[in-house]
Structure 1
Amino acid sequence: MESRSNVTLPDRDLIGLILLAFVVALIVRLCCFDLAVTEGSSMSPTIPPGRIIFINRLAYGFRFPWQRHYVLRWSTPHPGDIVVLLSPQGKIAVKRCISLTEHDFFFVEGDNKAVSYDSRHYGPVPIDFITGKVVGIR
């Protein structure tokens, strides 16, 4: 005698919807918003090590994750903005924008100047190195 299971496979529409939701979530994470955990104390006391930061990747413009240059730009960092950037050494860093130094180059510093490796060491960074703005700290 054959035994049949009463388990049914999910409907194709449901699988398609789940797949679409996954793709949309991935695009949002890569292009629009992100969460990260901070390391180091260069932004202390504003952002102590181990804090979760919420990053708006669309604060200054749109770019694809695999491109360094903005496809479309609508703003630039303002003095006081806390930005996420790719340092000239290729490391992801969180720093405060201090000033615009020349056309689309920004001077950035950590709040903890005694330990921060920033524009005082490597000079101003171009806008294309800035990948987002910190909009929340938890």
Structure 2
Amino acid sequence: MLALSFRNREDKEADITEKRTLGKTGGKNLFREMAEGLVTAIVVALLLKTFIIQAFRIPSGSMIPTLDVGDQILVAKLAYGIRDPFGDHYWIHFSGPRRGDVVVFRYPKDESKDFIKRVIGLPGDHIQVRGKKVFVNGTPLSENYVQYLQPFVTDEPTRDVMKEVVVPAGSYFVMGDNRDDSYDSRYWGFVRENKILGKAEIIYWSWNNVSHRVRFSRIGRKIR
């Protein structure tokens, strides 16, 4: 009986020890699974950001009314091809931007900054501004997305009047929709295609910095 009692106690102790061991092993497995899941999520997020889609926030009003301050947008990085993430060339090039596309690009004067504007002139186009009106190859451009806040003045030669320029090969002429308050190709020139990061597609969030409220009416709006 005494031996049996000891065996029962040993069995119980063994059960407790085994459960503790299982508990430790299970904890390690759980921690490893969580770590692997976190690493996988980070890798997927980096791949998405690098090759497929990237989120940006609009900090200025140069694209009003299409994009307002506080809008957060998704940019399709595969819109024009698959880019080398460490360089400025395309591994696979689909097509160039079209006139009217809203694109994000590296600012030519300081490539650490990203700008967003609308494509107005394609390679080879003749672009001119007369009395605020944009002419492409001698024809007035129809622009139902443009906002003008100030009257035409003759002493604004860059903003309201611009001599004809020819867009070089592999480059684009871009302008903001808030035409009187946009620092764009009228002032600093053309954007090389290999500096374009992608095409703006949709507003996924919008926050009014003045009223501190969500602008629900803008969420989900496609960028055209």
TM-score, normalised to structure 2, is: 0.55
The aligned residue for residue 183 of structure 2 is 117
Alpha-carbon deviations, 1:106-129, whole Å to 9, x = none?
010000111111111111211011
The aligned residue for residue 54 of structure 2 is 34
| More helix per residue | 2
The aligned residue for residue 114 of structure 2 is 92
Question: Structure 2 unaligned runs (5+)?
Answer: 1-16, 123-166, 204-218, 220-224
Amino acid corresponding to residue 84 of structure 1 in structure 2: V
Structure 2 residue 75 is the aligned partner of structure 1 residue 55: yes
Counterparts of 2:178 and 2:34 in 1: how far apart (Å)? 50
How many residues align? The count is: 136
Amino acid corresponding to residue 95 of structure 1 in structure 2: K
Counterparts of 1:42 and 1:92 in 2: how far apart (Å)? 13
1:126 to 170, 192, 196: 192
Alpha-carbon deviations, 1:18-60, whole Å to 9, x = none?
4233212211112210111101110011100110111001101
Q: Secondary structure at the match of 2:181?
A: coil
Structure 2 residue 90 is the aligned partner of structure 1 residue 70: yes
Structure 2 residue 145 is the aligned partner of structure 1 residue 79: no
Counterparts of 1:46 and 1:97 in 2: how far apart (Å)? 14
The aligned residue for residue 10 of structure 1 is 29
Counterparts of 2:173 and 2:189 in 1: how far apart (Å)? 7
Q: Secondary structure at the match of 1:10?
A: helix
Q: Secondary structure at the match of 1:103?
A: coil
For the pair shown, the structure with the greater C-alpha radius of gyration is 2
Counterparts of 1:16 and 1:39 in 2: how far apart (Å)? 36
Counterparts of 1:109 and 1:71 in 2: how far apart (Å)? 28
Counterparts of 2:41 and 2:60 in 1: how far apart (Å)? 34
TM-score, normalised to structure 1, is: 0.87
Amino acid corresponding to residue 66 of structure 1 in structure 2: F
Counterparts of 2:84 and 2:43 in 1: how far apart (Å)? 15
The offset of 1:17, in angstroms, is 4.7
Counterparts of 1:47 and 1:18 in 2: how far apart (Å)? 34
Question: Structure 1 unaligned runs (5+)?
Answer: none
Amino acid corresponding to residue 116 of structure 2 in structure 1: V
Counterparts of 1:130 and 1:114 in 2: how far apart (Å)? 23
Counterparts of 1:17 and 1:51 in 2: how far apart (Å)? 31
Counterparts of 2:57 and 2:104 in 1: how far apart (Å)? 12
Deviates more, 1:108-117 or 1:98-107: 98-107
